[in-house]
Amino acid sequence: MPDPGAHLPSQDAFRFHRDARSGSTLRVTAVWLCVLFALWVLFDAAGWIVLLLALPVGPALWELWRNPAAWLEIDDHACRWHSARSHAEIALAEIDHMALVTRWDFSIRATIHTRLGTHHRIPPEVTPKAPALQSALAAHDIPVKTQHFTVL
């Protein structure tokens, strides 16, 4: 039976938490719905056009209602994350390095490379800003390889 105290993080653990119910998501959804309402009322748009343009709002409303939490934690023993579609725990002793790739939209793609040769991509909803992640990795002696603006 696993030790229940083994998963308790230390005080100097790095924690990043993000909710789907953010202010920007609410604003964008509200503006999109107002635009659709204006098209329907002010410009007398056909109902099928308004319904077609309302389709992208469905997943956003579903995420706002469910509000799935996503988090990343790096402590003295492991790197673990949890999101709506992915969760994992990798011991720090197994990590060879972490690759941080800056993409053309300035987002960061983080990939953990293990000593066994496998790699695990951290989901984007769990990945914090690059400076915060780099300082957390340096604090836990995890080597970081950075690459900027790759095509692939």
pLDDT digits (tens, 9 = 90+) for 118-148: 999 999 889 999 899 999 999 999 999 998 8
Q: Judge whether 84 and 78 are in contact, CB under 8 Å.
A: no
User: Is the pTM value of this prediction over 0.85?
Assistant: no
Q: What is the pLDDT of residue 64?
A: 85
Q: Is the pLDDT of residue 50 over 70?
A: yes
Cβ-count burial 97-132 (b if 16+ within 10 Å, e if not):
ebbbbeeeeeebebebbeeeeeebebbebbbbebee
pLDDT at 152: 60
pLDDT digits (tens, 9 = 90+) for 1-20: 344 444 555 567 899 988 87
